[in-house]
């Protein structure tokens, strides 16, 4: 089960994570007499994770409460994100939480959302 800061914020509906691979920051240097380029390693790039999903509730009030619970943790603090596969991502900060423009009503009330996380020092 995925969570953020130990809180079960996402299990009401389907959600998915886009997990990055490893990316190094480099610069290329060329000089006469060198075949190819010399790569200068500047360290690992920052980890960014994107999450998309739907919040689902029995009524509008519960749906708004789910939305507000996520909004509350958008406070700039670092926390541990556990993804859908149990992967642990430490020192992650929510940098954006955007919801769909409308609430969908059918058998349940639901609201699409997107969250972007960034790894912080």
Domains of the chain, first to last: 3-119 (2.40.30.200)
16 pLDDT tier (thresholds 50, 70, 90): very high
CA distances from 33 to 19, 36, 91 (A): 40, 10, 44
Task: Determine what percent of the chain is predicted with pLDDT higher than 70.
Answer: 100
39-95 pLDDT, tens digit per residue, is 888 988 899 999 999 999 999 999 999 999 999 999 999 999 999 999 999 999 999
Q: Provide the whole-model pTM.
A: 0.84
Strands (E), the chain: 3-4, 15-18, 24-29, 38-44, 48-57, 79-82, 88-99, 104-105, 109-119
**pLDDT at residue 11 greater than cutoff 90:** yes
Query: What is the rounded CA–CA span in Å between residue 48 and residue 91?
Result: 11
**CA–CA–CA angle 67, 68, 70 (5° rounding):** 70
Cα–Cα distance, 81 to 62 (Å, whole number): 23
Residue 22 in this model has a pLDDT that exceeds 80: no
Considering only CA atoms, give the Rg of the chain: 19
Q: Are residues 115 and 79 in contact, defined by beta-carbon separation less than 8 angstroms?
A: no
What's the Cα-to-Cα distance from 64 to each of 36, 50, 53, 121, rounded to whole Å? 57, 22, 15, 32
Q: What is the mean pLDDT of residues 1-16?
A: 96
Q: What is the band of 34 on the pLDDT scale with cuts at 50, 70, 90?
A: confident
């Amino acid at each position: 089960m995925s969570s953020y800061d130990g809180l079960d914020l996402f299990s009401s509906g389907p959600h998915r994570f886009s997990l990055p691979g490893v990316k190094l920051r480099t610069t290329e240097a060329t000089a006469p007499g060198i075949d190819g380029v010399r790569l200068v390693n500047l360290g690992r790039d920052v980890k960014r994770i994107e999450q998309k999903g739907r919040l689902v509730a029995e009524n509008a009030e519960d749906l708004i409460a789910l939305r507000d619970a996520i909004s509350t943790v958008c406070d700039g603090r670092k926390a541990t994100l556990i993804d859908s596969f149990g992967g642990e991502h430490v020192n992650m900060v929510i940098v954006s939480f955007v919801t769909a423009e409308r609430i969908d009503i059918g058998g349940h009330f639901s609201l699409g959302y997107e969250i972007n996380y960034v790894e912080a020092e």
